[in-house]
Structure 1
Amino acid sequence: MNNITLIGMPGVGKSTIGVVLAKVLGYQFLDSDLLIQKQENRRLWQIIEEEGYEGFQNVENRVNASIEAENTVIATGGSVVYCEEAMKHLKSVGTVVYLKLSLNSLAKRLGNLKGRGVLLREGQTLESLYEERTPLYEKYADIVVDQEGKDLEASLELLLETLKEKAK
């Protein structure tokens, strides 16, 4: 399978870069957060509110593990790396790309985390979330694209170059 799955922290640009990448490659684009909302007929924050932290992870794991696509750029929710079954599936159907950005840059980009449907445990901060997730992103990534100091165009160019190198 030749899908490209984008993983990384909320606000790193998975959906934004994903749409443009799909256009450049002539691929389809799939946002797994939107797929979750469609299948559940609820917004992400409603699922988190109604099902709790673990309930949301179960939904996220089930939906992402069931994605059947070809020639598709898949933008995932930032918490998908907690879902082992989903990550194994996504790795089996394509290349997993970790879009990396520093905590400082993310903090500047992000507003209200809960309003974005970000999965936070009670008392968890952006910093503790970043420290918890970074090793998981690195574990599952086939490719890491460091976006620090880059705009959309420069990030996209670096991603395309990296994908080309990997394909050789």
Structure 2
Amino acid sequence: MIDQPFPELKVGQAKVSRGRTLTETDVVNFCMLTGNWLEIHANEEFAKTARFGRRVVQGSLVFSIVNALLPFDSSVLDAFYGVDRLRFLRPTFIGDTLWARAEILALRAKDGGGGVATLELVGANQRREHVMRCEFSLLIRGARLLPPANDPFTLAEPAAK
């Protein structure tokens, strides 16, 4: 989403991502990574008797994936600054496909020419239901940071023949 230095950004700029289907593997790996083995996520038989009648994808996984669906340019992104007003509006299930939409809501300049960009981030599923929403803030550089010249092929000695 953010692919320009801070001075080039404008309130109202928006992008929509590609889709991504959430899988059993995503949920189990996230259970392993976080230790979140709540039965609503990990136990099919338990989930059948719960509110939604089937397993629900962890909200923190939904947030992580929706956030990551929009590419960021590391030459301008300085840091994740924070998230506010995060809400999960509907459950997300294994097999659902999610898309993300982000729109710049506010820009606040900081020292050095960079600043904070605050975006509305919305995740929607294949049924066109909004499943999550938040305000997502990023610290953006005032100018591109070019990577160091570390191409191993330009520095390598020729291979012996």
- TM-score scaled by structure 1? 0.22
Q: Larger % of helix: which?
A: 1
Which has the higher Rg, Structure 1 or Structure 2? 2
Higher strand share: 2
